[in-house]
Structure 1
Amino acid sequence: MKAPNMTVRAHSSSILKDLSLKTHPLFTAPSHSSLLPSTKLLKQTHAKLLRNGEIHDSLTAGKLIADVATSHYSNLPYAFRLLSHPHFPLNTFAWNSLIRGFAEGPIPENSVYVYRRMLAGGFAPNNYTYTFLLKASAFLAEPRLGLSLHANIISRGLDGLDPYIQTSLISFYAALVSVDTAQQLFDESSMRDVTAWNALIKGYLASGQYMKVIRLFQVMQDRCNVCADEVTMLSVASASAHLGTLDVGKWIHTYIGKNKLIMTLNLGTALINMYAKCGDIESAIALFWKMEEKDMRTWSVMISAFSLHGLAKEAFDLFMDMQRVGIDPDSVTITALLSACSHRGMVKEGRIILCRMSTVYNIEPTIEHYGCIVDLLGRAGHLDEALDLIRKMSLKPDVVLWGSLLVACRVHRNIEMGKVVADEILELDPCNAGALVFLSNLHAAYGNWDRVQEVRDKMKEQRINKPPGSSLIELNGVIHEFLSGDKSHSQVDSIYMMLDEIGRLARRKGHKTAMDGFPFDIDDEDKEVCVSQHSEKLAVAFGLINTRPGSVIRVIKNLRICSDCHEIMKYVSEAFERTVVVRDCNRFHQFSKGSCSCVDYW
């Protein structure tokens, strides 16, 4: 294995020198009056080895250290004292056991201190030593430490010789440095077990490259004999949920059954989440009730699924069922419930939940909970109450919280409050595209063209752009992505012909293009062209061309669906007798027979 391009040459001395053994409030050996059962037994074993002299045998002593270090983190000081005794026979196995215990304990950096002591004592580290140390580096989220350890591995000639080290390096680079470098190491590795595949897959998942997760899993199945395990399937199910690829999700579920993987609690919960976020709420419900074991996370995921689909009554009913079976809600459950209130305009219920959080559920409101309430009040038009809540809450408002209120100000055309909110956002994030565009349009509305140009020049100089509209649609297991105005697809002519047909049918029904939210100095004709080519319209046109009559069209949109696209989807569902399911950044919209499941409240 070659060293990656980002050479690790300079870090080893600084990182590995500056650590010393640290303590932690939880990190104390238990007193004699509160010994853990395992601790008491270990002390008895230690005493027995001392009496019969077996403590001087290095293998026996090493086994004792391993048992003590891995039994419970509170026993680590005891293990360290054993290892530090001048007459205790030491070996690499004993040092590794202590390094492992510290790496997996509450203070992972102590493993590096023990490593330094090991080197100072003249003991040579082996492949297991670096596996544990790299794990500590990942826990600490300290890339320089991992880079310095890689330098040590290379200098000792251990790189490329051991699958444990290779996998640990792949996992480290994927998590903390660069998934591209992790891919490089993976490609150069000759020993790729399921753990190595999982490390790379998780790296792509963490970096938001969800399509690469799916492709890598497919390559794993096509080109090697490695069988996926629960960790693999959890990552792939999560990627499918993010992408909204129902066909891939169903294939994952089938794969689990076909390969006789155990449907664990975590895996079942992940599949429920996947089905819900892919738009198949019925399959999510069926799997939820089929699961024999459900924990708080499973209940919360299902409540969140109902919320995402605008099924507020079902969310509240399940919340009551959850408490009836003796499971108390956590912070995530409450967030899902408040979100359900927001999607249905249930202001009274949302206020009640917020009041009960501390007194009934013993949960202190977080910034996410306040964000849901601000969103709920803002959508319902209670802008003054939302602003007053932000001003009075004990937590410092963040950009997301102010952003919810800014959207509400734009929807309800409260220009004065919108300016105040936009200024608050720019104070926290001077490069916030949404706030800058809002101010630009506000100045344009009043004819302050110098200020408009000033805002736009700032955005241009700092390369600030609103994220482009992007929509995904899956066809026969292949994901097709469209951007607004996209003309790169191989079926571009047919897609735009279908767009024209959709527009013609909509105009015949009296549709007029909604052009809210565009800069005031763009003429109406250009606005209309831009709106007519929004990414979700392109995706739906593609779906109409390539799927059977009567089949459901499912689209995933990265932004909030605009009012014009929302109306057009109604016409499509009626004129073509299709169900169109659109998941935008907030929720699901299911269009059928000319109406939407959101009841035009979103």
Structure 2
Amino acid sequence: MKSLIALSKSWFRPKTFTSIFFHSKSTRYQSETRIISLIHASRTSRQLREIHAQIFISNLFSSSRVTTQFISSCSLLKSINYAFAVFEQYQDKNLFVCNALIRGLCENDEFEDAISIFGLMLRSNVRPDWLTFPFILKSAAALLVGELGDCLHGAILKFGLEFDSFVRVSLVEMYVKVEKLGSVIKLFDETPLTVKHGSILLWNVSINGCCKMGDLDKARELFEGMPERNVGSWNTLINGFARNGDMNAARELFNQMKEKNVVSWTTMVKGFSQNGEHREALSFFSKMLEEGVRPNDLTIVSALSASAKIGALEAGIRIHNYISNGGFLITKAIGNALVDMYAKCGNIEAASEVFANMKQKDILSWSTMLWGWAIHGHRGQVLQCFELMKSKGVKPDSIVFLAILTACSHTGQVDEGLHFFDSMRYKYAIEPTMKHYALVIDLLGRAGRLDEAFEFIQNMPMAPDFVIWGALFCACKANKNIKMAELISDKLLQLEPRHPGSYVFLSNVFATVGRWDDVERVRILMQNSGLEKDPGWSYIEVDGQVHSFVAGDQDHKHAKGIYEKLEEIVAGARKEGYVPETDWVLHNIEEEEKEESLGRHSEKLALAFGLISTTPGVTIRIVKNLRICGDCHFIMKYASKMSQREIILRDLKRFHHFRDGTCSCGDFW
């Protein structure tokens, strides 16, 4: 203790905020009060340590009031280990000190330690109260230990706290998080009316539990039975419908609300985005701003995500400008969303600029940037970014290696990709997942090393799944290895008999070798199973409006002009030696019909619309949900040369930058 006092004297200077103690003649209670006020005024861990020294000097180390407040402040300043040490040295382990530490441990995500202190309380015959159980229940929920929750429920009954509204809400919330809906409903139904009517939060938490476990009818029943509702009640139910994919019901409720807040709007924007209705998400975001509601970080991230999904660069830029002009801080979440948006909208340079200017970066920031470089085919930048990340002391994770393997695959760097795959386990102690194995199969398959790929699958430590065999099938098809492709198609059909891709794969194999009877048999089998192939669609943004096209689309208001422009492109391409690659249309129809089918692919329609709707020189950006076919790839190259424009197309696998008749992928995709 002498050394602690000496250290504290060396820290203090005249007129510091603690110098009052050297001259104080106050009573012990007044000294405690002053110490406590200084504890509350502390903003750093260093200041708390200085005050701790003064607690010893003032002989207040046995004060329960002081120790309780000191532990609480340590917890708030994230010095939970220091708080724990103070607790261990304190002799009188009373209720207040225990509660302070349990709360601090819980709020610092040290849930197991919080439960250990609760056990110490019970062993020390310290009776828990209504402030103890909410944090212990939160800890049990965070650890997803339902059995512990049941034990805590019994303890609550034992100590007579079951009807305390604060404890009861926490108990219901715990059962929600461990997904015990029966216990949630039972607790709610057994709650006395006096408690129910006095706690809107109890209703909201119960509604959330029903929504989380998919019982929307019960959730609505509880909502309609509420004696009174607040904005949180509406938001909870709206979020429940959104989370379960019913955006029509969510919209209906939203429109009925008399009072909306930023959470209401954010729930809708996020809900539309997560349910694939990205244009509607951006529309709601715009309406929100028109209504004068200032978005929060989650709203912005959700809107940027919607822009990224459909390649709406103009919308993304408007959101970025709003952030800059609205005084928003570029947090890690917003920064990561901006990098992702620019990368997925085809402006990798802007993504790199945002990334470079981010003051705070986490592993997600680095992996997002790495993915951006990878899907644009910039292997060199991927490796540079990887080395820079390591030099900053950031340890790579499994997602980082997915980006690196993708970059190697898209550029044909097989040996380099295999080296990085091996380094995951042996250098970085990261166990490869099924996705990593699939990328290695893709890497070998693209290079035509099919036998190696097949052997690699045979030696995998886990059973290969649909994606693994699918990657090898695509390689077989590209390399025209029909025998192996047919074998793999059978495996796909066995693995996923309800997946339409299994039937499509097998049908394609038979069609490639002209076995049309087998094609028809597989397709009839698919129809009888009630399965349909996922339709191809493409998005293009023109003048801030996102337009969508499906294969053979005739519904667009400019359909006539679109098809006329497409005919013009194809006619010009024929003069340059273009012959439609009808091998991409794998069904038994006449050659003329095959050409017509190729001409209706959604990305071709989006291209034609872009050419007739924008001024010369403007870059055309297209997003497609499937992999681009060889015929469309050729037409894009020709169109870029004919129109003297850059055409940027993002398909399921990567970006294609078409300039002056060539593609950034080097025809290797």
Q: Secondary structure at the match of 2:653?
A: coil
Write the letter of the residue equivalent to 1:346: Q
Retained in 2: the 8 A contact 1:131–1:168?
A: no
Q: 2:161 and 2:571 mapped to 1: Cα distance?
A: 82
Q: Secondary structure at the match of 1:302?
A: helix
Retained in 2: the 8 A contact 1:307–1:337?
A: yes
**For the pair shown, which has the larger CA radius of gyration, 1 or 2?**
2
Give, in angstroms, the shift of residue 302 of structure 1.
1.3
1:318 matched to which residue of 2?
385
- Residue of 530, 538, 546 corresponding to 1:479: 546
Q: 1:147 and 1:470 mapped to 2: Cα distance?
A: 44
1:195 matched to which residue of 2?
263
Give, in angstroms, the shift of residue 221 of structure 1.
1.7
Structure 1 residues 36 and 482, CA gap change in structure 2 (3 angstroms): same
- Residue of 205, 210, 216 corresponding to 2:284: 216
Figure out how many residues of one structure are paired with residues of the other and give that number.
Answer: 557
Retained in 1: the 8 A contact 2:496–2:502?
A: no
- Residue of 35, 38, 44 corresponding to 2:83: 38
1:228 matched to which residue of 2?
295
Q: 1:381 and 1:339 mapped to 2: Cα distance?
A: 17
2:435 matched to which residue of 1?
368
1:76 matched to which residue of 2?
115
- Residue of 455, 470, 484 corresponding to 1:417: 484
TM-score by length of 1: 0.83
Q: 1:165 and 1:371 mapped to 2: Cα distance?
A: 45
What are the Cα deviations for residues 36-92 of structure 1, in whole angstroms up to 9, with x where unaligned?
A: 433455678893757xxxx7xxxx99888756754641213544786999994855x
Q: Secondary structure at the match of 1:516?
A: helix
1:391 matched to which residue of 2?
458
Residue 514 (structure 2) pairs with residue 452 (structure 1)? no
Q: 1:531 and 1:464 mapped to 2: Cα distance?
A: 23
Of 207-216 and 411-420, deviating more is 207-216
What are the Cα deviations for residues 311-359 of structure 1, in whole angstroms up to 9, with x where unaligned?
A: 1112112222222333232111111000001101111111111222211
Structure 1 residues 415 and 259, CA gap change in structure 2 (3 angstroms): same
Residue 592 (structure 2) pairs with residue 525 (structure 1)? yes
1:270 matched to which residue of 2?
337
Give, in angstroms, the shift of residue 95 of structure 1.
4.8
Write the letter of the residue equivalent to 2:383: F
What are the Cα deviations for residues 258-317 of structure 1, in whole angstroms up to 9, with x where unaligned?
A: 211110122212211110000001101111222233332222211111110011112112
Structure 1 residues 315 and 70, CA gap change in structure 2 (3 angstroms): closer
Write the letter of the residue equivalent to 2:633: H
Write the letter of the residue equivalent to 1:305: G
Retained in 2: the 8 A contact 1:160–1:189?
A: no
Give, in angstroms, the shift of residue 216 of structure 1.
2.2
2:16 matched to which residue of 1?
none
Retained in 1: the 8 A contact 2:617–2:644?
A: yes
2:353 matched to which residue of 1?
286
Q: 2:248 and 2:155 mapped to 1: Cα distance?
A: 34
For 1:93-172, what aligned pairs fall within 5 Å after superposition?
A: 95-107=133-145, 114=152, 121=160, 123-124=162-163, 126=165, 130=169, 133-134=172-173, 137=176, 139-140=177-178, 149-150=206-207, 154=222, 158=226, 160-172=228-240
Give, in angstroms, the shift of residue 439 of structure 1.
2.4
Q: 2:573 and 2:556 mapped to 1: Cα distance?
A: 24
Write the letter of the residue equivalent to 2:404: L
Residue 539 (structure 2) pairs with residue 501 (structure 1)? no
Give, in angstroms, the shift of residue 384 of structure 1.
0.9
Retained in 1: the 8 A contact 2:367–2:403?
A: yes
Give, in angstroms, the shift of residue 451 of structure 1.
3.1
Q: Unpaired segments of 5 or more residues in structure 1?
A: 1-34
Write the letter of the residue equivalent to 1:476: D
Retained in 2: the 8 A contact 1:229–1:261?
A: no
Q: Secondary structure at the match of 2:563?
A: helix
Q: Secondary structure at the match of 1:522?
A: coil
Structure 1 residues 497 and 156, CA gap change in structure 2 (3 angstroms): closer
Q: Unpaired segments of 5 or more residues in structure 2?
A: 1-79, 187-205, 208-217
Of 351-360 and 506-515, deviating more is 351-360
Q: 1:305 and 1:155 mapped to 2: Cα distance?
A: 44
Write the letter of the residue equivalent to 2:145: I
Q: Secondary structure at the match of 1:270?
A: helix
Identity %: 35
Write the letter of the residue equivalent to 1:38: A
Q: 1:491 and 1:209 mapped to 2: Cα distance?
A: 23
Structure 1 residues 572 and 444, CA gap change in structure 2 (3 angstroms): closer
1:596 matched to which residue of 2?
663
Q: Higher relative CO (CA 8 A, sep ≥ 6), structure 1 or 2?
A: 1
TM-score by length of 2: 0.75
Q: 2:614 and 2:174 mapped to 1: Cα distance?
A: 47
Retained in 1: the 8 A contact 2:607–2:620?
A: yes
Give, in angstroms, the shift of residue 107 of structure 1.
3.4
Retained in 2: the 8 A contact 1:100–1:111?
A: no
Q: Secondary structure at the match of 1:322?
A: helix
Q: Secondary structure at the match of 1:205?
A: helix
- Residue of 272, 277, 301 corresponding to 1:204: 272
Q: Secondary structure at the match of 2:319?
A: helix
What are the Cα deviations for residues 137-170 of structure 1, in whole angstroms up to 9, with x where unaligned?
A: 3x54677777773369939965652334443444
Retained in 1: the 8 A contact 2:175–2:183?
A: no
Give, in angstroms, the shift of residue 94 of structure 1.
5.5
Retained in 2: the 8 A contact 1:70–1:101?
A: no
Structure 1 residues 155 and 444, CA gap change in structure 2 (3 angstroms): closer
Q: 1:105 and 1:233 mapped to 2: Cα distance?
A: 30
Residue 324 (structure 2) pairs with residue 257 (structure 1)? yes
Of 580-589 and 263-272, deviating more is 263-272
Write the letter of the residue equivalent to 2:409: S
Q: 2:133 and 2:234 mapped to 1: Cα distance?
A: 21
Q: 2:123 and 2:462 mapped to 1: Cα distance?
A: 47
Retained in 2: the 8 A contact 1:167–1:199?
A: yes
- Residue of 365, 379, 393 corresponding to 1:298: 365
